[in-house]
């Protein structure tokens, strides 16, 4: 993982990039998956499966179970369309679905906002330490909890 440039997508562009990325991996972009992705992408803060299920259920006029949402979110994480904030059990849409990133977040304990940080040197250092301990298939997840600048 070296330095790289990526295009930050928003709105329809983000949904199109997510769809292309998912279909490239051999998965189908169903109406339900599209609705869940659109809902997730609409949140400015990490969203739980329950938040998303509620929004999609209201929009469709019929209940969507959080378990179904969890399965789809797991698929999105596995295909790099979303990132999971482990400590909050919540998700963010990946604004550049074609790029693979380690999960490095600054999470505010006051407002709940999570800022994704791209720091390849930090990721490489964590991977190097893990490899030296015999770990294989390394996926660093780093979450720094504190108070963000806006809430401070």
Give residue 12's pLDDT: 62
Backbone φ, ψ for residue 127 (5° rounding): -60, -40
The model's pLDDT over 49-61, given as tens digits with 9 standing for 90+, comes to 999 999 999 999 9
The model's pLDDT over 103-117, given as tens digits with 9 standing for 90+, comes to 788 999 999 888 888
Of 108 and 102, the structure prediction assigns the larger pLDDT to 108
Please state, in angstroms and as integers, the Cα–Cα distance from residue 40 to each residue in 1, 135, 149, following that order. 27, 32, 24
Of 8, 74, 7, 10, the residue nearest 36 (C-alpha): 74
When the pLDDT of each residue in the chain is averaged and rounded to a whole number, the result is: 86
Q: Which long-range contacts (CB under 8 A, 24 or more apart) does 10-19 make?
A: 10/95, 11/41, 14/41, 14/93, 14/95, 14/97, 15/41, 17/96, 17/97, 17/98, 18/76, 18/81, 18/93, 18/94, 18/97
* Least confident range of 48-57, 63-72, 121-130: 121-130
Q: How far apart are alpha carbons 34 and 144 in whole angstroms?
A: 31
Q: How far apart are alpha carbons 67 and 11 in whole angstroms?
A: 26
Helix (H) or strand (E) holding 113: none
């Amino acid at each position: 993982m070296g330095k790289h440039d990526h295009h930050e997508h928003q709105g329809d562009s983000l949904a199109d990039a997510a769809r292309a990325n998912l279909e490239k991996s051999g998965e189908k972009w169903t109406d339900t998956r599209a609705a869940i992705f659109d809902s997730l992408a609409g949140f400015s803060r990490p969203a739980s499966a329950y938040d998303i299920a509620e929004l999609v259920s209201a929009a469709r006029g019929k209940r969507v179970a959080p378990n179904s949402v969890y399965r789809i979110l797991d698929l999105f994480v596995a295909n790099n369309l979303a990132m999971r904030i482990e400590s909050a059990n919540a998700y963010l849409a990946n604004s550049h679905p074609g790029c693979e990133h380690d999960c490095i977040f600054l999470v505010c304990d006051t407002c709940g906002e999570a800022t994704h940080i791209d720091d390849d040197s930090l990721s490489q250092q964590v991977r190097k330490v893990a490899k030296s301990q015999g770990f294989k298939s390394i996926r660093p997840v780093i979450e720094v909890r504190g108070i963000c600048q806006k809430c401070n």
